[in-house]
Copies of this chain bind each other. A is one copy, B any other.
Amino acid sequence: MTTETTNGAPAATSALLATVGNKVRAMRKEKGMTLAKLSEITGLSQAIVSQIERGMANPSFTTLAQLAHGLDIPVGKFFIGQEASKSPVVRKSERRNLKGVTRESVGEAVHELLTPGLNGGIEAQWIMTPPGHDTSSNPFSHSGEEFCYIVSGRKDVYLDGVCHSLSEGDSITYSSEIPHWYKNSYEEVCVAIWVNAPHAW
């Protein structure tokens, strides 16, 4: 965390904390509660609730749980759409663990979620598939809509059994309800961006 001027009240911290804090304050106001009231029913001190709401403190897990309980909301609600708000989400490619998966490698695909903050929103994945990789044994079928863009290499996407051969720069969009799978039936590794936007779940 950031330091403070002398001693006493902590200075402003990260944007994430401010976001959560704003959420707490908004929900509290929505219910017409004062700081005193919320602190009473959560068993937390007014001071810490005030600080959390203003993004000046970094609440612990149990504190978050107590707040959620006091506000009568599921804990997860504090996080919904949270990282999405700090748009854009930048993902450094160096983070990827490419050990053991090279152009020559055969075996499992490497997935990386590009939008780790989403919670019911759009979900993007970076997927590297080695030659021969095949997901036909368990065709996916879920709700929403999908979009795929081929960054490099080639890939065959099967929708309801129909093959669509995609090459670098190609893309495809379809309903996730359609049973779908894909296969890299080529010599090179294929890198693709896969986006899934669920309608409902």
Q: Could you list which residues of chain A lie within 8 angstroms of chain B, going by C-beta atoms? A: 1, 14, 16-17, 20, 32, 40-41, 58-62, 64-65, 68-69, 72-76, 79-80, 82-83, 95, 97, 108, 111-113, 116-120, 143, 199-201
Contact = CB atoms under 8 A, between A and B. Distances in A.
A100 B74 CA distance: 26
8 closest A-B pairs by beta carbon, nearest first, are A200-B200, A76-B79, A72-B113, A76-B76, A75-B79, A76-B119, A58-B60, A74-B119
A62 B20 CA distance: 11
A113 B111 CA distance: 38
A147 to B, nearest CB: 19
Given A60-B61, A75-B83, 5 more contacts: A58-B61, A58-B62, A61-B64, A72-B113, A143-B200
B72 A112 contact: yes
A50 to B, nearest CB: 16
A72 B194 CA distance: 14
16 contacts: A14-B62, A16-B62, A17-B62, A41-B97, A58-B61, A60-B60, A72-B111, A72-B116, A73-B116, A74-B79, A74-B83, A74-B117, A75-B82, A75-B83, A79-B79, A143-B200
Contacts of A61: 16-17, 20, 58-61, 64
A58 B112 CA distance: 27
Contact of A116 (B1, B69, B200): B69
